[in-house]
Amino acid sequence: MSGITKSAEELALMEAAKRVLPGGGLGNFPADIVVRSGKGGHVQDVSGNDYIDFLLGSGPMFIGHCHPKVDAAVIEQVGKGSTFFADNEHGIRLAEAIVDAVPCAEKVRFLSSGTEADFYAMRLARAYRGKPKIVKFEGGYHGMSDWALMSLAPKRLANFPAAVPDSPGIPESVRSEVLVAPFNDIDAAVKLIEAHQDEIGGVIMEPLQRLIPPKPGFLAAVREVTARLGIPLIFDEVVTGFRFSLGGAQQFYGVTPDICTMGKIIGGGYALSAIGGKAEIMALFDKAAVGEERFLTQVGTLSGNPVAAAAGLATIEVLREPGTYDAVFATGRSLMDGLTTLIAEAGIPAQCLGEPVLFDVVYADGDLRDYRALLRQDAAMQKHVNTTLRSRGILKGDSKYYVSTAHTAEDVAQTLDAFRAAMRSLPASRKVA
């Protein structure tokens, strides 16, 4: 049975949040938990309940909470200063580490969030090519800018390449500057890019779109057509960067873009993101190199913050240790295999979708190749399972398991026990005869 109870202190904090925060929360995770601390692959709420943490702060804590090497690096830097708005050693060293690891990154520019990185990457591509439009893929997430919030999760489907705004407050004119293609459809993507080549500034995509892996040849086909036409290709690796490998998804899948964005892991739990790309393109951030007319202004008060950079450097040092990626992929694969077995035993239409370090159970059968296919998912079943998991001490987002290097075989076993309980509590009408 569930051991999750709420203390008077946590309930009081939740009431205070309702008074001072829209929706009673910080706008990220549902406002029904107040987390106090984290260690390794677990977090604890204010009531003292312990959770196996597959949320990982929405991904940054890839080596776990309060890793001793990260904590030591941060504490040392905090004693020397928090931020300077000037070059600092850790920022320079982190840029070196990124250039050394990431195939497309010849130069790096730091920012503070994934939204900023994606926003500036799109602006950089448009400025470099001198063309106004961006191609994105339906269902792809690229932060919270007006351009990114086109056809992320459209409530009504439109014919491609028409864009659908996902939020009020976006000027109608932005719709005409974004062209939308279906993910994993080589023919449609190539034809769209060829047809609009004279007005496209850049193409942006997640190499793994939310949970959907690229079909064989898809990334390579988009790379070929953009390279042939001289259109910058942007890989949004805010999620996948340093998670799939030291070189990110571009190394993992063997396709190198012109520009990539990174975040989450490179800040080690602190606010930091980056754009990496070919030197010729990144030169637009250097007025001395390109002149006044082509210079792309970018300033951020906390860009390259030394505390965040120190945390990121320490994180990358841990990830460089031999066997680290083999171990975390093995943990994720064990969890995926166990869930797949339980799904089959329960006789429900569901499948694990993603890669071992980033995946979820999707409650639908068949080929889940794009955003529209994912709309077949049984949302009620997903909610039931996620609620049951939380009641049994498993913390995860609505649609992701983030697996960390700190998760253990015991964590996997406890998670599978909780999932088994969720399967047993499903109404008979949800199961396949």
Dist. CA 232–CA 238, nearest whole Å? 18
259-262 vs 273-277, strand pairing mode: antiparallel
Sign of the four-CA dihedral 22, 28, 30, 34: negative
**C-beta separation of 418 from 388 below 8 A:** yes
CA 33 to CA 23: how far, in whole Å?
13
| Catalytic annotation present for 128 | no
Q: Which helix (H) or strand (E) holds 179?
A: strand 178-181
The answer to whether 123 touches 299, Cβ cutoff 8 Å, is: no
Task: List the alpha helices (DSSP H) in 186-270.
Answer: 186-195, 218-229, 248-253
Q: Is 337 a catalytic residue?
A: no
Provide the residue count of the chain: 433
Within 10 Å of residue 431's Cβ, how many Cβ atoms?
12
SS3 270: coil
141, 253, 363, 401: which one is catalytic? 141
Please identify which of the residues 136, 264, 396, 400 carries the catalytic annotation.
Answer: 264
Burial group, residue 287, by CB count within 10 angstroms (0-12, 13-18, 19+): middle
CA distance 211 to 358: 7
Question: Does the annotation mark 87 as catalytic?
Answer: no
Catalytic option among 236, 360, 370, 411: 236
Q: With contact defined as beta carbons under 8 Å apart, do 362 and 378 qualify?
A: no
Please, are residues 430 and 382 in contact by the beta-carbon 8 Å criterion?
A: no
- Quote the tokens at residue 401: 């398991």
Catalytic residues: 141, 236, 264
